[in-house]
Structure formats: structure tokens, C-alpha cells
């Protein structure tokens, strides 16, 4: 076994070694990237897979995809002929190059992690052994300087000063934190509590934890960097090289559990995290979160800690952890002994028992390792024990997983079908945050296993499958985190509410949804804003305020657009004018029917006055066109104010208006209307029927539908105004009963008038009882029974002819009708002289009383109605 001193002396002759040391955010990594791209080949080792991926993307942008490789435990992108390698420290080659040839340039980032009990021995080994052929860079904190001088005495120390100032800002409540702040907590529970509070008060935050997959962390970081959220909540993993645009770092706690005990952070650890505030020449600040995460007293920095962080002065590192990097594999016992051997150099300390060694020792005590023989088997067994514990399950649980893996690996490869089945079991994006985190940790284990060509058959295919599943799980976890901890709508509104109302990025979708920067805050229904029903009680007030600020402009534009349209979307029903289901105005019940007046509804109260007046004028013009079929009623209404007809005629006209175009003759009060006024009334379109006084033009379908829509006639509506319909409990407007049927009053009047004409003609021939032709009634759809009931209401009585006796032959006699004067009104008769059969200039015979002729052919008019 070689000592650390021997290893160091063997490597110092290879190229120039530079230790670039300084506080966080001093551009050390940027410098190393520039130096590597200036060499023919290079290798850089990083503490995080996420950081390795970030640098890989930057180098690809400079050198192209075919020249750059990314090698981590779970991912391997290695184009043939690649010359630049971005790796995690564990995947970084010890000699500084891949393929057996040392790279021209080698850099190790965050080298001070060599003092970390868990991973320190890896970084210490790379610090001692990873060398570039032409140049080597060790990047780290200034506290690393003494140990570098002791272990690598020929290294050139380059100090990198911080160009921005880091200032202590004291304690602040969560609601008072400035934008672009990072809140650091030291447990998943703390992270969730802070993120949930930020969602309530500030619209949400991004979340970064070590348990997240790199893909999920990338997406969460991208939300913060893109400005979708102004806050990021993270564990201390944020201190390891993540380049973020942070202005302020707030500590939710100053203590953490380090795997063995809960302790206060060292000042250098505080500075590593706080130093993420500020970039290049932009100053930053740090402080604590008032009340922490439990409402108790806030954690506070001591004066010494504040001084150390602001001035970047910390106690230097005196030891790095070390473990034999090239143990012997003769036997399992020899392997364990070499891994537990102490270092020879006083600047190095034996690394605490890491989980890989703990698993090795547990399995060595079992029968599982009893028959492991030979260097190859021992080495393979150690590689299995070195599987990272991505699940963070602890040595005992992780040892059982490794034991199952070893039973399959001991004598053979893992079959592709077996690995594919294990991967498929994890390919499930359902579940909550913790469930998805568990699956991601599990799939990372299989991604690590699939990277080993000597473990898995069809390695490339299985590795691609595991990466695809990890990507899907990461997408799902990012969605769950965003759904739980980001209220983007609140974040957008908090940014926008301070602006002038005219500058709010408000748009209205075609369905009326109100959007602020693509986030829905509610819906505009008609001319009223409704807050999104999905918003909770805390958000409703803010959404209401945002909507009300934007509404005047939106409502004005909406009103003007409607007024300029053809208003085809307007609806008139029950005396209400509606648009898209929203009430705009009502018909004034006390105003004229044919020239209705509008009463604006409360829905238009929020519309600014100029636009409101223009819209009302447009609605009134639209309504005037709609009521054109009521022109006959308009004449009648106007005549109610005329002195020409006298009070008696005006009284009748008022009854017609109140009856929406007709009134029963018994209720009309015709006995008070002088006969000389009837021509005046007929000019207005008033018709005096046997049973009703009515205006025929107002019995047409259009007029009746319009009167019903205006709310002027609340009786049931028969939209088509068929001549005859089935009888109903409540008769439709414009109909009168006729047995089991109902007949339109103008059609009833024509049938009754035809009956009286037939009666008069047959009386001239001396008949006391008459035979009535039912063809006119039947042509309208009236049944004989209904015809009998209708004529009965007009004063006619049916006298049925007796049936023929049994055996009697001959035609059956027709039914005859009689009419009783005084029971119902007969059409007004006019005296007509007999036919000109004159003798001595005098007419022969008596004057004949005939019914007043009905203009035109009644059947012709009925044909039109039926049609």
C-alpha cells in the first residue's frame, strides 16, 4: 500500500499545478472552462451531476457535441473521439485522462470538499493524483490554501477576489423578503413549509433539494432563472456551484444534521451558501428568516460570524479525509484492511466509514461473501458494494439491496429482460411528491447499474431506458412541485398590481376568460367580472382587485364592439334584453307597448358612461326594428290620446291595448260606443266580431311572439298561431275554447259569420231552421263536436234529425240549426232591396234582411292561414 506522500511525490512533475482559491461567486469555474477550451484535451471534475451537466452544455456550445463527453455515475454521453470530459468527482479518472492517456488539462472543482466526512476521500484522492499533462487547476475556497501548500508544495496559489460586496441584512419576515431571494433550509420538511408559505404570500417558489433528480432540479432552477417565480427554496446543495441570479440569501435555520448529530453550521459553510447572493459586480446580501419555519424566535448570526462572512475570513483547513484509493483485492479481509488503513501524512485524516465500506463489512460477515475467491471476484464484489445509496436508506437497507444484486452478478451478467422488468416497475408517473422522489432514487440506482458494461447485457439499450424513465419521472415530479408550491397567477399579479392599470398585461379570450400574462384570473360574463371559482379565499381579494383595475378599459372596448356589431346575438324574452345570457336592459312596464322604453340593468353600471350611452342607443335602435310588426298596435296606442274618437272609443282602444290586441265582446263595452264612431275604429284596424273585438294584424305569429317577448302578454304562446289547436287548461293568447279544441279568434269569427250568412239566406226562403255547411270549419281542422260547441257560444242550437227506423229506406235528413236572438251577437245586418222586378217603378216584395257581407272569400283567407 502506497502512502499519500508517495503518491504526491510521484505526480508533482506532471505539468503546472495551479490552485485557484477564493470566495463563492468569484468566477473560478468560468476561468477553468476557458483554460480547458484552450487546450487540446481536458477533464473537469465536479461535486454534483447537475453542475457537471451545466458545464457540459457550456463546453458543447464552444466545442461542439462531437468533442465533449459527460460522464457521471448514472449518465454517460461519450462521443467517439471526444477530447473534453465533464465528470462528477467519483467518475473522474485518477490519472487525469480517459483511455490511458493523460489529458492536457485537468481541473477539480470545489476541492475543499476533501474535508467532508462522507465524500471527502474522493476529492482528496483527485487533489493528490489527478493531473493534466500541461496544466492542472484545483478550484476551491481560500480555506484550502494551507493544506494545498502542505500536500502540493509546487502548486501556484492564485487568489480570486470577490468583485461584489456581501452584506448582512439582518432578519426579515417571509412576506418582507425582497424578490430574487433564496431561502435555505436543512430538511425536506423545512423546505416544504417555507415553499408553501411563499405560495400563499408571494405566488410560489422553485424548490431545490439533494433528493431531486438533476432533471427536476434543472427545471426548478430554470423557473427561477426565467423569472416565473422570484424565490427559490433550497437545501445547502445550493452552495455547490449552482450559478443563480440571487440577490439575497435567507437562512431558515443555522443548524443541520450532518449524519451523526445536529450541529450549528461552521462560518465557512455559512459563507459558501450566503456567497450565492450577488453575481460578478452586483452586490448581494444575506440574513435570516424571522420566525424561522415554526413561528419561534428567528435564528441569528453572531457578530463573529457576520464579520467572517462579510470579510471572507475563516479558519483554514488543517486536514483532509483520505482513504486508500487503490486497495489490494487478494481477499475480502485484505480489501477491508486497506480501506481502513490510516494515512501516513499528518495533513490527512482517516475518512469516517462511508456507506460503501459499511455495506462491504456487513456483507463480509454473512455467508454471502464467504466463498468469494480471487482478485477478480473480490474486485467485482467491491464494485457492487460501491453502488451509491441513492435512496438514502442507510447501510442496513442498502446492504440488502446490494446482496440481491450480488447474487445475480456473481457468476453472470444481469439479463436484459430482468433489468427491463425492474425498470418498467418504476415507470409510473402517478403519486405524490414523496412517492415520485422514491421512484427517481430507485431508477437512479438502475441507471448506475446499467452504465456498467460488465454488469448488464444490452447495456446501451438498458441505460437509454432507465434515462427515459428518469426523465418522465422528473417531469412528473417537476409538475407536482410546481402544482403544489407555485401559484403562478399570484406571482404574476404581485408583479403587475403595482403598475398603472393601463399597463396591466390583460387579455380577454374569445370565451370571455380574463388573462393576466396568460394566467386566468376570472371571466367576463356580459359586462361583469367574475373571479375564478377555483381561487381560494386568500386569493379572491387580490384577483378581484386585479380584475376591477382592468375592467373599465375592457368594458368600454366590449361595449363599443357590441354597439358596432349587427347585434344579432341579442335576445328579447319576457321583457328582458339579454346578450350571451347577461341581462342588459328591461322593457319599461309603464311605457307604451309598441314603442317600448328601455331601463338599463345593473350589469351596465360598471361600463364607463360614453361607451354605455353608445351601447344603449344601439340597443334602442335594434329594438325599434324588432317591434316593427307591432305597427298596428302603435296606431291604436296613439289613438288612445286622440280627441277625434271621443272618450267612448278611447276606452275601447285602451281595453284592446291592455288585452294585447283583442278583448271579448262582452267586456268591450260596445253598447257605450256610438255607431258613428265605428268607422273611426275600423280605420285603426279594429274588427267587431261576433264574440270578440280584435285587430286581425296582431293575431299573426310574428306579432304574438313579439308581444310575448316584450312581456306585454303573459298568457301562453302558440308560436305558429295555427287556426285550430288542441284545448289546454290555459288557453294560448289569441284563442278561444271550442270543446276539446281551441280556435283562433279571427278564424272563429269567420266561421260564425259564415253561419249567420247561411241563416239569413235560408230565412229569405221562409225556413225557420237552417242547415249549415261545416266544410269551412272542417277545412281549418275543427271537429264536428268542436264546431257545435263554437256555434253554441254564438247562440246557435243544433236540432239533430231523427235516425231512420229499422228497414226504412232513403237518405237521412240533415241536422238543422236554430239561433236565439239576444243570446249572442249576430253580425250587423244592412237592408238590401229585392231583385229588380219593378212594376210602376215600385219594387216588388218586402225588403230582405241580409247579413253584412264579409269582404272577399272566407275560404281564400283560411287557405292562407292553414298554409
**Structural domain includes residue 406:** yes
Element (H, E) at 522: strand 519-525
Query: Both 61 and 145 in a single domain?
Result: yes
> Element (H or E) spanning 249, and its range?
strand 248-251
Local structure of residue 63 (DSSP, 8 states) = H
Q: Are residues 180 and 299 in the same domain?
A: yes
- Residue 60 shares a structural domain with residue 193: no
Examine the pLDDT at 718 and tell me if it is beyond 70.
Answer: yes
Residue at 326 is within a domain: no
Cell of 532: 375564478
Please tell me whether residues 687 and 607 are part of one structural domain: no
Residue 641 has a pLDDT of 86
* pLDDT band at 505; cut points 50, 70, 90: low
Least confident of 277-281, 623-627, 660-664: 277-281
d(CA 452, CA 388): 13
Binned at pLDDT 50, 70 and 90, residue 150 comes out as very high
Which residue, chain included where needed, has cell 487568489?
Answer: 159
Q: Do both 149 and 272 map to the same domain?
A: no
- The residue among 591, 623, 655 that closes a domain is 623
pLDDT for res 504: 57
Give the confidence band of 407 by pLDDT, cuts at 50, 70, 90. confident
Per-residue pLDDT tens digits for 157-202: 999 887 788 899 999 888 889 999 999 998 888 888 898 888 877 7
Q: Domain check: are 147 and 200 in the same one?
A: no
Residue 239 pLDDT > 70, yes or no?
A: no
Q: Is residue 522 included in any domain, yes or no?
A: yes
Distance between CA atoms of 480 and 489, rounded to whole angstroms? Answer: 16
Does the pLDDT value for residue 860 go beyond 70? no
Q: What's the mean per-residue pLDDT of the chain?
A: 83
Instruction: Tell me the sheet residues that pair with 168.
Output: 286
Q: Could you tell me which residue, 31 or 506, shows the higher pLDDT?
A: 31
Count of domains forming the chain: 6
Q: What is the domain extent for residue 404?
A: 353-412
CA distances from 106 to 127, 147, 384, 780 (A): 10, 19, 28, 105
pLDDT at residue number 845: 43
Question: For residue 245, what are the contacts with CB-CB under 8 A and spacing of at least 6?
Answer: 180, 224, 225, 279
Residue the block writes with cell 417555507: 194
| Of 118-122, 510-514, 683-687, minimum mean pLDDT range | 510-514
Within this chain, do residues 14 and 155 fall inside the same structural domain, yes or no?
yes
In a domain? residue 305: yes
Do 147 and 170 reside in the same domain of the chain? no
Answer yes or no: is pLDDT of 5 > 70: no
**Mind giving me the DSSP string for 639-704?**
HTT-SSSHHHHHHHHHHHHHTTTEEEHHHHTGGGS-GGGHHHHHHTT-EE-SSEEE-GGGGSHHHH
Under the banding of pLDDT at 50, 70 and 90, the label for residue 6 is: very low
CB 723 within 8 A of CB 866: yes
pLDDT of 123 reads 95
Cross-strand pairs, 812: none
**Contact indicator for 617, 688 with CB cutoff of 8 Å:** no
Cα–Cα distance, 84 to 103 (Å, whole number)? 8
User: Residue 539: inside a domain, yes or no?
Assistant: yes
Q: Considering Cα of 343, then 346, then 347, then 350, what sign does the dihedral take? A: positive
pLDDT digits (tens, 9 = 90+) for 741-751: 999 999 999 99
Q: Which of 714, 730, 763 is the last residue of a domain?
A: 714
Residue 727 lies in a domain: no
Q: Is the pLDDT of residue 500 over 90?
A: no
C-alpha cell at 767: 225556413
Separation between Cα atoms, residue 246 and residue 274, nearest integer Å: 10
Q: Which residues contact 839 (CB under 8 A, 6 or more apart)?
A: none
336 in a structural domain: no
The fraction of the chain above a pLDDT of 70, given in percent, is 84
Whether 148 has a pLDDT exceeding 90, the answer reads yes
State the burial class of residue 142 (Cβ atoms within 10 Å of its Cβ: 0-12, 13-18, 19+).
buried
Same domain, 636 and 606: no
Where does a domain end: 159, 179, 210?
159
pLDDT score at 24: 79
CATH number at residue 190: 3.40.50.300
Of 221-235, 535-549, 617-631, 672-686, give the lowest mean pLDDT range. Answer: 535-549
829 compared with 360, residue with greater pLDDT? 360
Nearest to 721 by CA among 696, 704, 741: 704
More confident residue, 97 or 341: 341
Instruction: Name which of 420, 439, 441 is nearest 430 in CA terms.
Output: 439
Is residue 172 a part of any domain in this protein? yes
Q: Does residue 644 sit in the same domain as residue 779?
A: no
Mean pLDDT of 107-120: 92
Mean pLDDT of 370-380: 88
Please name which of 359, 353, 456 lies closest in space to residue 408, comparing C-alpha atoms: 456
Predicted confidence band of residue 850 (pLDDT cuts 50, 70, 90):
very low
The predicted model gives 842-858 an average pLDDT of 40
The full DSSP string for 37-63 is HTSSSEEEEES-HHHHHHHHHHHHHHH
pLDDT, tens digit, 9 for 90 and up, residues 563-573: 999 888 899 99
457-470 per-position pLDDT tens digit: 888 899 999 989 98
- Maximum Cα interatomic distance, the chain, rounded to a whole number of Å: 167
* Residues 190, 154 within the same domain: no
DSSP string, 419-464: HHHHHHHH----S-HHHHHHHHHHHHHHHHHHT-TTTBTTHHHHHH
**Are 510 and 612 in the same domain?**
yes
Residue 16 has pLDDT above 80, yes or no: yes
The pLDDT tens digits for 785-831 are 999 898 888 888 888 766 655 555 556 667 778 887 665 666 654 44
β 105-108/735-738 pair status: unpaired
Q: If 0-12 CB within 10 Å is exposed, 13-18 middle and 19+ buried, where does residue 370 land? A: exposed
Instruction: DSSP letter for 845, please.
Output: S
Amino acid at each position: 500500500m502506497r502512502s499519500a506522500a508517495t503518491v504526491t511525490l510521484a505526480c508533482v512533475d506532471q505539468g503546472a499545478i495551479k490552485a485557484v482559491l477564493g470566495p463563492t461567486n468569484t468566477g473560478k469555474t468560468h476561468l477553468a472552462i476557458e483554460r480547458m477550451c484552450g487546450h487540446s484535451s481536458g477533464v473537469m471534475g465536479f461535486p454534483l451531476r447537475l453542475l457537471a451537466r451545466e458545464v457540459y452544455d457550456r463546453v458543447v456550445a464552444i466545442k461542439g457535441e462531437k468533442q465533449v463527453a459527460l460522464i457521471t455515475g448514472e449518465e454517460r454521453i461519450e462521443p467517439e473521439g471526444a477530447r473534453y470530459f465533464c465528470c462528477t468527482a467519483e467518475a473522474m479518472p485518477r490519472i487525469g485522462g480517459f483511455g490511458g492517456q493523460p489529458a492536457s488539462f485537468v481541473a477539480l472543482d470545489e476541492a475543499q470538499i476533501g474535508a467532508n466526512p462522507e465524500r471527502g476521500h474522493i476529492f482528496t484522492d483527485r487533489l493528490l493524483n489527478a493531473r493534466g499533462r500541461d496544466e492542472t487547476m484545483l478550484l476551491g475556497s481560500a480555506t484550502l490554501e494551507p493544506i494545498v501548500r502542505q500536500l502540493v508544495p509546487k502548486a501556484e496559489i492564485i487568489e480570486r477576489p470577490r468583485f461584489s460586496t456581501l452584506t448582512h441584512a439582518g432578519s426579515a419576515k417571509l412576506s418582507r423578503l425582497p424578490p430574487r431571494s433564496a431561502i435555505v433550509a436543512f430538511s425536506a420538511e423545512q423546505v416544504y413549509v417555507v415553499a408553501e408559505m411563499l405560495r400563499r404570500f408571494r405566488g410560489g417558489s422553485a424548490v431545490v433539494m439533494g433528493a431531486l433528480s438533476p432533471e427536476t432540479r434543472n427545471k426548478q432552477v430554470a423557473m427561477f432563472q426565467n423569472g416565473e417565480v422570484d424565490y427559490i427554496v433550497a437545501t445547502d446543495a445550493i452552495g455547490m456551484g449552482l450559478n443563480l441570479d440571487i440577490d439575497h440569501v435567507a437562512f431558515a435555520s443555522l443548524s443541520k444534521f450532518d449524519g451523526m448529530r445536529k450541529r450549528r453550521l461552521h462560518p465557512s459553510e455559512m459563507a459558501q451558501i450566503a456567497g450565492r447572493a450577488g453575481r460578478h459586480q452586483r452586490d448581494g446580501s444575506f440574513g435570516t428568516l424571522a420566525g424561522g419555519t415554526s413561528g419561534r424566535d428567528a435564528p441569528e448570526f453572531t457578530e463573529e460570524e457576520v464579520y467572517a462572512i462579510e470579510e471572507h475570513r475563516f479558519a483554514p483547513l488543517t486536514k483532509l479525509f483520505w482513504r486508500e484509493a487503490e486497495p489490494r483485492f487478494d481477499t475480502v479481509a485484505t480489501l477491508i484492511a486497506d480501506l481502513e488503513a490510516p494515512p501516513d501524512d499528518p495533513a490527512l485524516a482517516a475518512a469516517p466509514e462511508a456507506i460503501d465500506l459499511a455495506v462491504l463489512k456487513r456483507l463480509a460477515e454473512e455467508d454471502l461473501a464467504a466463498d468469494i475467491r480471487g482478485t477478480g471476484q473480490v474486485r467485482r464484489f467491491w464494485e457492487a458494494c460501491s453502488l451509491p445509496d441513492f435512496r438514502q436508506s442507510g447501510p442496513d437497507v442498502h446492504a440488502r439491496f446490494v446482496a440481491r444484486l450480488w447474487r445475480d452478478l456473481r457468476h453472470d451478467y444481469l439479463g436484459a429482460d430482468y433489468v427491463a422488468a425492474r425498470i418498467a416497475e418504476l415507470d409510473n408517473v402517478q403519486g405524490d411528491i414523496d412517492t415520485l422522489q422514491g421512484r427517481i432514487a430507485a431508477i437512479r440506482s438502475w441507471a448506475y447499474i446499467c452504465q456498467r458494461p460488465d454488469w448488464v447485457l444490452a447495456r446501451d439499450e438498458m441505460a437509454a431506458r432507465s434515462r427515459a424513465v428518469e426523465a418522465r419521472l422528473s417531469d412528473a415530479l417537476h409538475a407536482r412541485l410546481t402544482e403544489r408550491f407555485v401559484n403562478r397567477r399570484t406571482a404574476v399579479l404581485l408583479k403587475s398590481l403595482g403598475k398603472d392599470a393601463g399597463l396591466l398585461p390583460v387579455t380577454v379570450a374569445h370565451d370571455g376568460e380574463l388573462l393576466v400574462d396568460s394566467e386566468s384570473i376570472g371571466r367576463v360574463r356580459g359586462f361583469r367580472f367574475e373571479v375564478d371559482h377555483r381561487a381560494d379565499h386568500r386569493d379572491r381579494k387580490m384577483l378581484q382587485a386585479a380584475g376591477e383595475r382592468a375592467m373599465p378599459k375592457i368594458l368600454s372596448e366590449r361595449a363599443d364592439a357590441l354597439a358596432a356589431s349587427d347585434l344579432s346575438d341579442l335576445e328579447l324574452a319576457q321583457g328582458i334584453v339579454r346578450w350571451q345570457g347577461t341581462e342588459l336592459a328591461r322593457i319599461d312596464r309603464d311605457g307604451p307597448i309598441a314603442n317600448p322604453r328601455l331601463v338599463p340593468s345593473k350589469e351596465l353600471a360598471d361600463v364607463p358612461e360614453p361607451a354605455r350611452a353608445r351601447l344603449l342607443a344601439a340597443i334602442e335602435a335594434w329594438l325599434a326594428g324588432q317591434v316593427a310588426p307591432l305597427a298596428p298596435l302603435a296606431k291604436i296606442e296613439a289613438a288612445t290620446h286622440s280627441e277625434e274618437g271621443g272618450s267612448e272609443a278611447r276606452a275601447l282602444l285602451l281595453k284592446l291595448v291592455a288585452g294585447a290586441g283583442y278583448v271579448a265582446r262582452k267586456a268591450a263595452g260596445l253598447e257605450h260606443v256610438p255607431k258613428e264612431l265605428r268607422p273611426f275604429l275600423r280605420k285603426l284596424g279594429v274588427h267587431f266580431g261576433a264574440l270578440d273585438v280584435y285587430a286581425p294584424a296582431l293575431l299573426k305569429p310574428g306579432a304574438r311572439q313579439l308581444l310575448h317577448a316584450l312581456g306585454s302578454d303573459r298568457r301562453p304562446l302558440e308560436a305558429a298561431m295555427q287556426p285550430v289547436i288542441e284545448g289546454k287548461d290555459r288557453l294560448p293568447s289569441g284563442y278561444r275554447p271550442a270543446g276539446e279544441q281551441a280556435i283562433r279568434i279571427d278564424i272563429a269569427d269567420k266561421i260564425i259569420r259564415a253561419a249567420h250568412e247561411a241563416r239569413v239566406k235560408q230565412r229569405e226562403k221562409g225556413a225557420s231552421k237552417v242547415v249549415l255547411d261545416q266544410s269551412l270549419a272542417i277545412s281549418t281542422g275543427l271537429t264536428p263536436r268542436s264546431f257545435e260547441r263554437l256555434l253554441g257560444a254564438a247562440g246557435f242550437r243544433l236540432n239533430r234529425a231523427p235516425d231512420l227506423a229499422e228497414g226504412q229506406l232513403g237518405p237521412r235528413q240533415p241536422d238543422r240549426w236554430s239561433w236565439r236572438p239576444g243570446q249572442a251577437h249576430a253580425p250587423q245586418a244592412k237592408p238590401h232591396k229585392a231583385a229588380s222586378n219593378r212594376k210602376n217603378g215600385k219594387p216588388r216584395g218586402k225588403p230582405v234582411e241580409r247579413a253584412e257581407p264579409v269582404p272577399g272569400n272566407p275560404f281564400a283567407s283560411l287557405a292562407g292561414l292553414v298554409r
